[in-house]
Amino acid sequence: MTFRGVLVPVLTPFSPDLKPDGEKFVALCRHLLDQGAAGLAIFGTTSEANSLGAPERIALLDMLLEAGIPADKLLPGTGACSVTEATALTAHATARGCNGVLLLPPFYYKGVSDDGIYGFIDTVIQEVGSEYTKIYLYHIPPMAQVGFSVDLVGRLHGDHPDTVVGLKDSSGDWSNTSALLDTYPDMAIFPGSEVFLLDALRKGGAGCITATGNVNLPMIKALFDHWQDDDADERQATITAVRKVFQDAAPMVPLLKAYYAHVTGDADWAVVRPPLVGVDGSIAATVAEGLPALGFTFEAPA
């Protein structure tokens, strides 16, 4: 079954020596599921996945599963520049029973053709060789500068209809998301921001996968649950306003972590791995002060 709902790309907590804090990671994942997350998109951009080595991603995934986080709620990012590493990560997630993987295109070489990207994804599928593999393509050209064209999505889905089942569109371009929804109604298409959630649902979208789900999941989920109600546009305006507070104040990932540090009193939450740089705590404090006016409340993980 494909994912549907609000998925959260979970922040990866680090200790001051830059090692992943597995205990805190498990607690956050449990908390987000308790708040109603339809899935956890671990090891994506928000998770600083490309600052994590493959062994670290494997170890953290295993830790979640051993702690009782359900595999069918997990959508781990398995993107890598090397087809060997992407295959290994995808094979491991599949073998552990994850409900899918979120797969970037190979992103080091720029200006590559659709044929080249097709060859990479097709090789991963063939090398993993499992009927249980479910791939959600991860389109994020603002970061990767390499992406999945609408035509390429159709080629991959057409050749692997039971494997390439969905896509996260973090282009920030509604016209692209809209074209995907119109062209591939049988795929699970997720915008990468709640700003487009209501528009996507009205065109058959599956939900959204959004970084601010780490802080505003209940409000975003409420729109997903009530998108056909009379107040849906008002709900959308409110979650868009909250998103803009986080989006405009500072780089998103360091700010989300600084916000966690501010509201929990745990300074370690603010730690990011280089090349990211932490956000000054005063910015997080200013953000926190302005949010209640939008009806925003925050419940920290235990």
Q: Give the bridge partners for 208, in sequence order.
A: 6
For residue 139, pLDDT over 90 is answered with yes
Percentage, residues of the chain above pLDDT 90: 98
Instruction: Report the chain's mean pLDDT, rounded to a whole number.
Output: 97
* Range 193-205 average pLDDT: 98
pLDDT digits (tens, 9 = 90+) for 34-55: 999 999 999 999 999 999 999 9
- Assigned CATH class of 5-225: alpha beta
What's the pLDDT score for residue 244?
Answer: 96
Query: How far apart are alpha carbons 150 and 165 in whole angstroms?
Result: 14
pLDDT digits (tens, 9 = 90+) for 148-177: 999 999 999 999 999 999 999 999 999 999
Query: How far apart are alpha carbons 187 and 205 in whole angstroms?
Result: 9
- The Cβ of residue 163 has, within 10 Å, a number of other Cβ atoms equal to 20
* Cβ contact 25:46 at 8 Å: no
Our CA angle for 250, 254, 260, nearest 5°, is 105
Total-model pTM:
0.96
Q: Residue 268 gets which letter from DSSP? A: G
Structure token pair of residue 299: 């419940």
* Cβ contact 224:48 at 8 Å: no
pLDDT digits (tens, 9 = 90+) for 204-263: 999 999 999 999 999 999 999 999 999 999 999 999 999 999 999 999 999 999 999 999
CA-based torsion, 89, 38, 257, 247: positive or negative: positive
Helix (H, G, I), strand (E, B) or coil at 76: coil
